[in-house]
Amino acid sequence: MTTMRDIAKLSKVSVSTVSRVLSGKGRVSAEKRNEIIKLANQFHYIPNYHAKCMTKTGVITVGLVVPDISNPFFSKITMGIEAELRDNALLILMNSFRDIEREKRLSLLLRDNGARGIIIGNSHVEDDFVFEISKYIPVVVFDKEYNLPNISTIKLDNVYGAYLATNHLIEIGCPSVVHFGGFDDLDVSIQRREGYKKALRKGMQPYVIPTGYDERSGYEKAKKILPSKKFGGAFCMNDLVAIGVLKAAKEMGIRVPEDLKIIGFDDTELCEVVTPPLSSIHQPIEEMGRAAARALLKMIEGEESTRSYLFSPSLIVRSSTLSIRGDQDAKEEVR
C-alpha cells in the first residue's frame, strides 16, 4: 500500500505538501504538482479514510490502547495525552483488559478505521506486530525501545527506580526485602526486578514473588508468603500491588511500618488515601503522556520518524516506610 509519506519521500517534499496537492488545496508550483500527481498515479495511490480524517479544523483521530484503565497509572497517562492533544485530535481510548489478542484486534481496528496514529500503553505486544502496524501509521509504545522508523518510545528508568526503592528499604534497616513483582511478559517487570537485585547488599538473598499488577494479586500472594517467612521490607511492582500487600499485612496482624515496611511504584493518588500513607517511586506520569502525544503528532506531521524519550524516577517517602510521630501524612521526596 502506497502512502502519502512514500510519495513525499520520492518527490522530496513534506507530507503536508502532498496532501495539499492531492486534495487540490494550497499553493504548490505547477512542476511539483505534476510530479506528485504522476507519482500517485504510477504507484496506484488511492485516497482512503486515513487521508480524509483530517477535517477543515485540522482535527485528526488517534488511538490509545491500554491494558487496564482501572489502574490509576493508565488513567493519568490518558489525562496527559488528552491535555497535550487538546483540540488538535480526537482520542479514541480502548481497554484491552490485559488480553494480548484483544490488544492486537483493537490496534488493527484503529488502523483500519481512520486513526492517524496509535499509542500502545505498555510493552506487552510482540515486536513483529508493532512493526507491522508502523508500516501504515505512526506508533508510540511505552517502556520498550525500537530503533525503527515510524515508532517512538516513552520510557522510565525502571532499573534505577527499583534500585531506589530497594535501597531505601535497606538503608532504613530492613535485613531482608521481598519483591512482589510482575511477570516476564513485560519489559518493565524484568527491569524492576533487575533494579531490585542490584540494590541488594552482599549476603542478602533475593526473594522474588511473581505476583501480577492489581490489588487482588498483591493481597493473595502476601497472604500466602508473609506467614511463612518474616521480611523486613516489601518492594512492590506498583501501588495497587502494594495496597494489596498492605491489606493482607493488616489482616494478619503485621504492623506497617513497625514489622514490615512497604513501598510501591508509580506514586498515584492512592498512596495518600491508604493508612499508613504509602511510600512509592514517583513517575512523571502526566508528562510522559504529554510526551507520547507530542511524539505521535510529530510523526504524523512528518517531522521525525523515530525517537526515544527517557524519564527519571524519584523516591517519595511516606509513613509506610518511615515512622513519623504525630504526622501520618508527612511526605519526603528524595532524588
In the predicted model, residues of the chain with pLDDT beneath 70 are 1, 23-26, 46-58, 123, 323-335
Q: What is the 3-state secondary structure (H, E, C) of 115-150?
A: CCCEEECCCCCCHHHHHHHHCCCCEEEECCCCCCCC
How distant, in Å, are the alpha carbons of 120, 152, 255 from that of 79? Answer: 15, 19, 36
Contact status, residue 65 vs residue 92, Cβ threshold 8 Å: no
Report the Cα 327 to chain-centroid distance in Å.
33
Write down the pLDDT at residue 237: 98
E runs forming strands in 143-206: 151-156, 177-181
Write down the pLDDT at residue 332: 62
Write down the pLDDT at residue 334: 60
Class of domain 60-157+285-312: alpha beta
Determine the 3-state secondary structure of 263 from DSSP: strand
Rounded CA-CA distance 160/157 in Å is 6
Class of domain 158-283+316-333: alpha beta
Write down the pLDDT at residue 56: 43
The torsion angles phi and psi of 13, rounded to 5 degrees, stand at: -135, 175
- Is the backbone of residue 291 left (phi > 0), alpha (psi -120 to 50) or beta? alpha
Beta bridge partners of 152: 140, 307
> How many C-alpha atoms does 80 have within 13 Å on its Cβ side?
22
Q: Which CATH superfamily is domain 4-55 in?
A: lambda repressor-like DNA-binding domains (1.10.260.40)
Rounded CA-CA distance 114/98 in Å is 24
Q: Are strands 177-181 and 233-236 parallel, antiparallel or unpaired?
A: parallel
Rounded CA-CA distance 176/230 in Å is 8
The torsion angles phi and psi of 139, rounded to 5 degrees, stand at: -130, 135
From 270, 303, 273, 307, select the one nearest 292 (Cα to Cα): 307
Identical fold, 60-157+285-312 and 158-283+316-333: yes
The torsion angles phi and psi of 168, rounded to 5 degrees, stand at: -60, -45
Q: Name the grid cell of 104.
A: 492486537
Domain extents in the chain: 4-55, 60-157+285-312, 158-283+316-333
Write down the pLDDT at residue 20: 79
From 242, 67, 263, select the one nearest 161 (Cα to Cα): 263
Task: Beginning with the edge strand found earlier in the chain, give each strand of the sheet holding 139-142 in spatial order.
Answer: 89-95, 60-66, 118-120, 139-142, 151-156, 306-311
Give pLDDT tens digits for 78-111. Answer: 999 999 998 788 999 999 988 889 988 999 899 8
How many CB atoms sit inside 10 A of residue 240's CB?
27
Per the listing, cell 535497606 goes with 170
Write down the pLDDT at residue 50: 46
Write down the pLDDT at residue 180: 98
Write down the pLDDT at residue 19: 81
